[in-house]
Structure 1
């Protein structure tokens, strides 16, 4: 059974996946001032998924760590990494708030987007921004 996590190959891929998991909740916080319940509840919630990925990340970066992923054993590292990655994701989104707001408005109309659609929207947005604000060469 495919989990969606079986295509990453290295620790940076896992980190990127964690940042993406946090990004959805952070975008809600930045745009609406609160998290939607889906960020916390359910088997596929953003925070639960991020936590499971962080457990794997810890074992990838520390070969001495038990591979049994015992919560007590991972607790302090999990909290520290979670806070750091959450902050990194928040800074990235905050520095791109216009794009986040644009994606939010598209999602208001469409409710759901594929990865390919999101990439196309981001690329179109960046192209329009570059054409509106050309850099001096």
Structure 2
């Protein structure tokens, strides 16, 4: 008896619209979750892979300084390295607007780092000739000034 009852004309259309809207809602929620997951991954990668803007300049300057020392040193000891650094001029070792100076008073190497993005930074390094490997100079960071 109940099965033979006649249904109204729009009943199947309404059920179809309700079910399809529920499916679309679930799909939109899944899509939103995937977008949130992707944003989280990107922000995590950016925070972990953040690069110091001065790193490129520091690497180039210390590499050029090391190359300059290797090419012009006669004997590998602290005194000869000190004498070589006394004759160092800012126009010999530079990269962009950044350059290297030698502070005679404190016997420190001064890196003046200036980037394209903004203000500069001063980094002070001490040096030491490695006793195990005679043809190697080690630089130690002493302090930084912004």
Same fold (TM over 0.5): no
Greater length-normalized contact order (CA 8 Å, ≥ 6 residues apart): 1
The TM-score, its normalising length taken from structure 1, stands at 0.30
Q: Which has the higher strand share?
A: 2
The TM-score, its normalising length taken from structure 2, stands at 0.29
Q: Which has the higher helix share?
A: 1
Q: Which has the larger radius of gyration?
A: 2
